[in-house]
Amino acid sequence: MTHTSNNPPVELPLLPLRGIVVFPPSVVPVAVSRPAAIRLVDDAVTAGGVIAVSAQRDDDPEQCYAIGASARVHRLVRLHDGTLRIALQALERVAIDQVTQREPYLRALVYYLPDHTDDPNITTRVQEARERARELLDALPPNEDLRAQLDATGDPQHLAALLASMLLVRASLAERQALLELTDVSERLARIGALLAQELAILRGHLRM
Longest dimension (CA), the chain: 55
Q: What are phi and psi of 144, to 5 degrees?
A: -65, -30
pLDDT band at 59 (very low <50, low <70, confident <90, very high): confident
Residue 12 neighbours by CB under 8 Å, 6+ apart: 49, 50, 51, 52, 70, 94, 107, 108, 110
Neighbours of 207 (CB within 10 A): 8
pLDDT band at 4 (very low <50, low <70, confident <90, very high): very low
Pick the more confident residue, 44 or 7. Answer: 44
Per-residue pLDDT at 2 exceeds 50: no
What is the Cα–Cα distance from 38 to 32, expressed in whole angstroms? 6
Per-residue pLDDT at 109 exceeds 60: yes
Could you tell me the residue ranges of all domains in the chain?
10-113, 122-208
Q: What is 10-113's CATH number, 2.30.130.40, 1.20.950.20, 3.30.1330.200, 2.30.40.10?
A: 2.30.130.40
Q: Which of 87, 100, 3, 95 is nearest to 44 (CA)?
A: 87
Residue 80 neighbours by CB under 8 Å, 6+ apart: none
| Contact between 39 and 107 (Cβ < 8 Å) | no
| Contact between 34 and 86 (Cβ < 8 Å) | no
Residue 86 neighbours by CB under 8 Å, 6+ apart: 29, 30, 32, 41, 73, 74, 75, 76, 77
Per-residue pLDDT at 104 exceeds 70: yes
> So what's the pLDDT on residue 36?
96
Average of per-residue pLDDT across 119-124? 95
> So what's the pLDDT on residue 179?
97
What is the Cα–Cα distance from 55 to 140, expressed in whole angstroms? 28
